[in-house]
């Protein structure tokens, strides 16, 4: 090993964490999370139907799902930095190009390019962190994923102010420029997919280890239906994060101005931030399943607030923060769940397959949200669906907890013979 990190006193794993934070913050925190505010202004300016413009999200999700397996393989098998730079360019260029759009088909084409660009982030970021960290990986994944919440909380109200001052077209260009710096520079200068690529060992691992970590032991592979059960949980709950883009429209539908909708979006990003950090820390301490229970309950309470608290802004604000915790269920917990179920050697492939299936299915589910509003004039049916999805997730995690405990008891009984 070349102990370059020891000379500076900082393990390079922490540099990788900063790199991942910037990429996640630029791609998801700014480009994705601020799009709902942008689209509200587009709808007012160009008189599109909400459902028609929201097909952008569906096309983006479907494209991302189809591309994920291919782009993940490219990232880990080819030039890591070059692949991430190309994917980043697809994101920021397709986003910035919206400043010159006037027709729906242009947004649909941009959705394809953006979907390809963002396709591997949800696999690459947690896997790279798990490669670099042998301890505290749950907390580090939580903090890294939380960067999208930090950027969303900062840039959503800023986006609304920029639209008021300069219009949505100039705002799109400003956001694309900021994100290009956050995504492209770290990718070109700092990124390494694995410690071995730099001659390092992971953080928390010494060169003369006397023991082997539990997550490095070859664990018995779960039966095939376990994968399907996990995908079902993540698919249903994951579809709910798309509702974040509908928050400004939801606020306007119940009589509040765009600024209140932007506030709801900011509060959901605060919930996003807190939820990801808390979920990562809790997973290190009490495990992924008990952590999941707490978050399924919290999001359900938020949905109940949306359903019955439309006349009380304070209730809606608290509900927005609780709803934002859904991001932890969809973005922080999956990699830790698959790592626990399948072990370090095989979980990456399972995670890629899950993102493929989840992207295809959740895109179809989430596409129904704006059309439900168009047809009924209310988002109440969406909130009822969300509560059902959370209850299913709670039940599945309870089953998985019991399964892993039975598996652990079986392994222990064999070792004791």
Q: Residue 133, SS3?
A: strand
Domain ranges of the chain: 4-203+213-415
Count other Cβ atoms within 10 Å, centred on residue 303: 24
Q: Which CATH architecture has domain 4-203+213-415?
A: Up-down Bundle (1.20)
Q: Residue 205, SS3?
A: coil
Q: How many residues does the chain have?
A: 417
Answer whether residue 30 shows pLDDT above 50: yes
247-271 in b/e form (b: 16+ CB < 10 A) is: bbbbbbbeebebebbbbbbbbbbbb
Tokens for 96? 């910035």
Highest mean pLDDT among 19-33, 264-278, 352-366: 19-33
Mind listing the pLDDT tens digit for each residue in 324-356? 888 888 888 888 898 888 887 788 888 888 888
- Residue 40, C-beta contacts closer than 8 angstroms, at least 6 positions apart: 248, 249, 252, 258, 261
Mean pLDDT of 130-145: 88
Identify the band that residue 207 occupies on the pLDDT scale cut at 50, 70 and 90: low
Which residue blocks in 78-190 are alpha helix, DSSP H? 80-96, 104-118, 121-132, 137-166, 168-189
| Percentage of residues of the chain with pLDDT beyond 90 | 33
pTM, two decimal places: 0.76
Answer whether residue 22 shows pLDDT above 70: yes
Mind listing the pLDDT tens digit for each residue in 181-191? 999 999 999 99
In the block, residue with structure tokens 């569906």: 58
Which residue blocks in 190-312 are alpha helix, DSSP H? 224-238, 247-253, 258-286, 288-308
Q: Residue 254, SS3?
A: coil
Answer whether residue 172 shows pLDDT above 50: yes
């Amino acid at each position: 090993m070349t102990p370059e990190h020891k000379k500076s006193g900082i393990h390079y794993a922490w540099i990788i964490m900063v790199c991942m934070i910037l990429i996640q913050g630029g791609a998801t925190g700014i480009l994705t999370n601020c799009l709902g505010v942008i689209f509200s202004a587009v709808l007012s300016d160009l008189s599109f139907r909400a459902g028609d413009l929201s097909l952008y999200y569906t096309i983006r999700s479907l494209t991302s799902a189809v591309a994920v397996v291919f782009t993940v393989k490219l990232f880990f098998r080819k030039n890591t930095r070059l692949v991430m730079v190309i994917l980043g360019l697809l994101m920021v260029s397709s986003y910035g190009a919206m400043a010159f759009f006037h027709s729906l088909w242009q947004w649909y084409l941009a959705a394809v390019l953006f979907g390809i660009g963002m396709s591997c982030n949800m696999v690459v970021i947690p896997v790279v962190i798990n490669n670099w960290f042998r301890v505290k990986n749950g907390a580090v994944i939580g903090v890294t994923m939380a960067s999208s919440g930090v950027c969303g909380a900062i840039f959503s109200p800023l986006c609304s102010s920029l639209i008021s001052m300069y219009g949505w077209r100039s705002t799109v260009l400003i956001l694309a420029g900021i994100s290009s710096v956050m995504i492209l520079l770290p990718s070109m200068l700092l990124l390494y997919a694995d410690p071995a690529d730099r001659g390092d060992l992971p953080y928390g691992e010494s060169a003369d280890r006397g023991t082997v970590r539990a997550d490095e032991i070859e664990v018995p592979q779960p039966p095939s239906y376990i994968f399907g059960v996990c995908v079902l949980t993540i698919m249903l709950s994951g579809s709910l994060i798309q509702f974040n883009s509908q928050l400004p429209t939801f606020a306007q539908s119940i009589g509040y101005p765009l600024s209140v909708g932007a506030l709801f979006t900011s509060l959901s990003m605060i919930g996003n931030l807190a939820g990801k950090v808390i979920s990562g820390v809790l997973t290190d301490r009490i495990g992924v399943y008990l952590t999941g229970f707490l978050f399924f309950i919290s999001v359900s309470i938020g949905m109940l607030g949306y359903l019955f608290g439309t006349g009380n802004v304070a209730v809606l604000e608290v509900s927005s923060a609780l709803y934002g915790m859904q991001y932890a269920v969809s973005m922080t917990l999956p990699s830790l769940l698959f790592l626990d179920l399948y072990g370090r050697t095989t979980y990456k492939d399972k995670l890629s397959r899950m993102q493929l299936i989840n992207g295809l299915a959740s895109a179809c589910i989430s596409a129904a949200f704006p059309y439900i509003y168009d047809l009924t004039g209310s988002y109440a049916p969406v909130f009822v669906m969300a509560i059902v999805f959370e209850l299913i997730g709670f039940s599945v995690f309870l089953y998985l907890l019991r399964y892993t405990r039975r598996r652990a008891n079986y392994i222990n009984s064999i070792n004791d013979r």
